[in-house]
Structure 1
Amino acid sequence: MIQATSGCTYNKCKFCSLYHGECFRMTPINEFEEDLAEIKSHQPHARRLFWTGANPFAMSYENLKERALTVRDYLIKCQSIAMFSSIRDIKPKSVEQLRKLRAMGINGLSIGMESGDDETLAFVNKGYTATDIVEQLAKLDEAGIEYYLVYMTGLAGKGNGQRNALNTSETLNQISPYFVENPYFLNIDSLTLFPDTELYKMAQHGEFTPADEKERLEELITLLQNLRLRTRVQADTISNFKPLTGFFPKEKKEIIGKLQHIINTSSEKEMRSYRDSLKSLGAD
């Protein structure tokens, strides 16, 4: 892992406060090289590098190129460079530029999509639409860049989970041919409100009603029932009541069965108590 940026270029999502008060900053190239030299002294044969920061892929093509090529000067066996990105960060880059970045080793974008439902995306101020998701991920597919998506249950609020799930599945089913394994992972998080977020304040003022815990699981079941992708589903972050992973569609019935079992055997009170106990989402 190496720091490429700090802060977030957007900082407007209503459910997030991770980078509030922190300006976006690219790590100066001389500092970046110093860190690479240190990595080389400990792991000269490192094959995979993760650039940290809220969304390093927001850097321009030229800045990404400079840093990707610099990696080669220090870690000659590095085969893959991964980082966080937003759908917004892909837009300014052409397919040809994306292909060149892929050739330089950038091949692993973790994208906090959160939803593929226009109403939900607008409500939480993600700054893009479902059409944008389809169009920008198609560019990554064309360029051969591997990516991983995040979906957040409960984000649409109480009573809206089914709509969110159905429209998101429709969006996701458009992004890749069934035989293409992209997104490589579909990571599942569940909305957890923290006091310093706008959505928390809205909930306190009755402007947003969080979805019940069982409703969130039912939302996820609906999403998976309607999904036509070949991917790996991972609902194993701390925001999930119980960890769950599996290959899709091979283990589709098994995954849905486990979700239904949780609904049948766990009480709403127990699951709510678990969520209320979360102080951060940084570690298990």
Structure 2
Amino acid sequence: MHYTGTIWRPPYEASSLLLEVTAGCTHHKCKFCTLYNDLPFRFRMSPLEDIEQDLQEAKGQYELWENYKVKRTFLTGANPFVLQYERLLSIGKLIKRYFPENQTIGCFARITDITLKTDEELKSLQAIGYDGLTIGMETCDDEALSFMNKGYQSEDILEQCKRLEQANIQYKLFYLTSISGAGKGEQGAKRTAEICNQLQPKMVGANMLTIYPDSELLQEIKKGTWKEAGELEKYQELRMLVESLQNETEFAALGASNAIQLQGYLPRDKEKLLSILDEIIAGMSERELRNYRKNLPHL
């Protein structure tokens, strides 16, 4: 199989066939992100020949497991959905050729990737299996989005996710707790909930910002232009997000950046989630939580 650099996937894609179609990030400008710094280039598109070869190899391996059927394929890379419609369609057809039982195709996507497709193209991609996109929106705090160089604003999140809904493409949104900085987290969480409440995400997930030495954000901290929130403040922000969400959706904070993992369905489990967060805020020390963050080797 052709895999380049560290392969990142969400926890819920553990049983998916991982197929490399891109490597690296097309944007690669977010001040906090170091996930793709190990690549010798910022972005690479895999030749269709390599993709087909990987599918052939995977088919041979899966055939050794008599009763196993590939039901879902996850395209690897920071944002494979950036690929042109025709390219994504060709990849979808190749997957169907080698794994006719495959039902859905997922990948990471940036908000700006969606703008590259027409409404009809989105519907066509859905028809061939593209569904369950994972989108790192990070926040709907426009000031934070601008400062972190995300390349879009909250209205873009609202507009483009509504287009996915119109095409019947499900998606999961991820929030980056404390991206707004010290003293601004609860405000950012409220604004994010305001946008999410107008949408129908399959999941609202949360990760916690962890600042690494090779990030541009660390340089901003040293210059005094941005201040990191405390660990307990991050949980207060997360509480505000859960409290403010009115959607019927799954909520999950399962990544390694979360010292304590959370999962539930809203609104059914809202009070339970809020109770757990209250216990964390009241019962854990800043030092204890900070030690976890300091010893986190990577996400």
TM-score tier (shorter) = over 0.9
Deviation at 1:123, TM superposition (A): 1.2
1:240 is paired with a residue whose SS is coil
Structure 2 counterparts to residues 4-23 of structure 1, below 5 A: 4-20=21-37, 21-23=40-42
* More divergent stretch after superposition (38-47 vs 205-214): 38-47
CA contact 2:79–2:108 (8 Å) conserved in 1: yes
CA contact 2:248–2:267 (8 Å) conserved in 1: yes
Deviation at 1:230, TM superposition (A): 1.0
Deviation at 1:17, TM superposition (A): 2.0
1:237 aligned to which of 255, 271, 290 = 255
2:236 aligned with 1:218, yes or no? Answer: yes
2:125 aligned with 1:101, yes or no? Answer: yes
Letter in 2 for 1:195: P
The whole-number CA distance in structure 2 between the counterparts of 1:128 and 1:175 is 17
The whole-number CA distance in structure 2 between the counterparts of 1:274 and 1:102 is 40
Letter in 2 for 1:227: L
**Per-residue displacement from partner, 1:161-220 (whole Å, max 9, x unpaired)?**
0110111111111223xxxxxx11211100000011110111123222100111111111
Letter in 2 for 1:43: Y
> Which residues of structure 2 form unaligned runs of 5+?
1-17, 64-68
1:37 is matched with which residue? 56
Deviation at 1:113, TM superposition (A): 0.5
Letter in 2 for 1:11: H
1:80 is matched with which residue? 104
2:223 aligned to which of 182, 202, 205 = 205
The number of equivalent residue pairs is: 275
The whole-number CA distance in structure 2 between the counterparts of 1:74 and 1:266 is 51
Deviation at 1:54, TM superposition (A): 0.6
CA contact 1:51–1:83 (8 Å) conserved in 2: yes
CA contact 1:8–1:22 (8 Å) conserved in 2: no
Name segments (4+ residues, structure 1) moved above 4 Å: none
CA contact 1:15–1:199 (8 Å) conserved in 2: yes
Letter in 2 for 1:133: I
CA contact 2:28–2:42 (8 Å) conserved in 1: no
Deviation at 1:18, TM superposition (A): 2.1
2:290 aligned with 1:256, yes or no? Answer: no
> Which residues of structure 1 form unaligned runs of 5+?
177-182
2:10 is matched with which residue? none
**Per-residue displacement from partner, 1:249-268 (whole Å, max 9, x unpaired)?**
10001001100101111001
* More divergent stretch after superposition (254-263 vs 16-25): 16-25
The whole-number CA distance in structure 1 between the counterparts of 2:237 and 2:223 is 25
Q: Percent identity?
A: 41
1:138 is matched with which residue? 162
TM-score (norm 1): 0.94
2:277 is paired with a residue whose SS is helix
CA contact 2:180–2:188 (8 Å) conserved in 1: yes
The whole-number CA distance in structure 2 between the counterparts of 1:136 and 1:65 is 20
The whole-number CA distance in structure 1 between the counterparts of 2:59 and 2:168 is 28
CA contact 1:112–1:151 (8 Å) conserved in 2: yes
1:245 is paired with a residue whose SS is strand
2:198 is matched with which residue? 174
1:247 is paired with a residue whose SS is strand
Provide the alpha-carbon RMSD of the alignment. Answer: 1.0
2:84 aligned to which of 54, 60, 66 = 60
* More divergent stretch after superposition (141-150 vs 202-211): 202-211
TM-score (norm 2): 0.90
